Amino acid sequence: MLFNPDSSQFEDTLLGILKNSPALSQSLFGDSAQTSQNVTQLMEPVLSAHQRCQTAEYFIQAVSLNRDVFLVTNLSADSHLYATPPASSWLIGRGSTCAITVAEPSVSRRHAVIGHHFQDGFFMMDLGSRNGTRADKVALAAGNRQHLKDGTLIQIGDLMVEFFAAQHQGDAVTGDLGESEGRTEANSA
């Protein structure tokens, strides 16, 4: 575990994320049933995501909290953790209007999108980028959805990113760990 949930470093990092993302704070604390212990349990996978990285230095941690879904990443220019507002899709690219802005020349202004469907889970789609998108080394055809699993290695242009997923179910936080065999829909058929 990268952070001890009882440590001041954990609290400082968590408070920094929540301060910079009012929508996420509202999602986490808007439900009066959420306790600080529940929020800590939910955010622990986010704050430990960097330790899970095996191939890439960057990650995108997806979190599904009942009806709210958000992404947390260290892809920001200063490598600090950044949380997106809750949504069902997030644009990734160099453009300033992207939910996740990446300062990498090989990444197009509107490169790819990560989406979430409540029944089907997370997916990624290339938007016709110049340098392409890959999921577990499989090139994505522009406009086609590719299912993302916990542990999927994503390549956006020349940038390698590991994708992790955590789902909050009642009082438990689970990952998509049962499906993290490094396969995608395209190469598991």
Residue 177 inside a domain? The answer is: no
The conformation of residue 48, written as its DSSP 8-state character, comes to T
| SS3 label, residue 147 | strand
Residue 186 inside a domain? The answer is: no
Residue 49: what pLDDT? 85
User: Which amino acid does the sequence have at 116?
Assistant: H
Residue 118: what pLDDT? 85
Burial readout 23-35 (b: 16 or more C-beta within 10 A, e: otherwise):
ebbebbeeeeebe
Residue 181 inside a domain? The answer is: no
Residue 149 inside a domain? The answer is: yes
Domain hosting 30: range is 8-170
Average pLDDT estimate for 96-109: 95
CATH code of the domain in which 166 resides: 2.60.200.20
pLDDT digits (tens, 9 = 90+) for 126-139: 999 999 999 999 99
The total number of structural domains that make up the chain: 1
Residue 146 inside a domain? The answer is: yes
With a cut of 70, say whether residue 98 has pLDDT above it.
Answer: yes
Residue 72 inside a domain? The answer is: yes
Do 159 and 130 contact (CB within 8 A), yes or no?
Answer: no
C-alpha distances in Å from residue 25, one per residue of 47, 116, 144, 150, 189: 15, 20, 33, 24, 40
Confidence of residue 187 (pLDDT cuts 50, 70, 90): very low
Residue 3 inside a domain? The answer is: no
With a cut of 90, say whether residue 162 has pLDDT above it.
Answer: yes
Confidence of residue 7 (pLDDT cuts 50, 70, 90): low
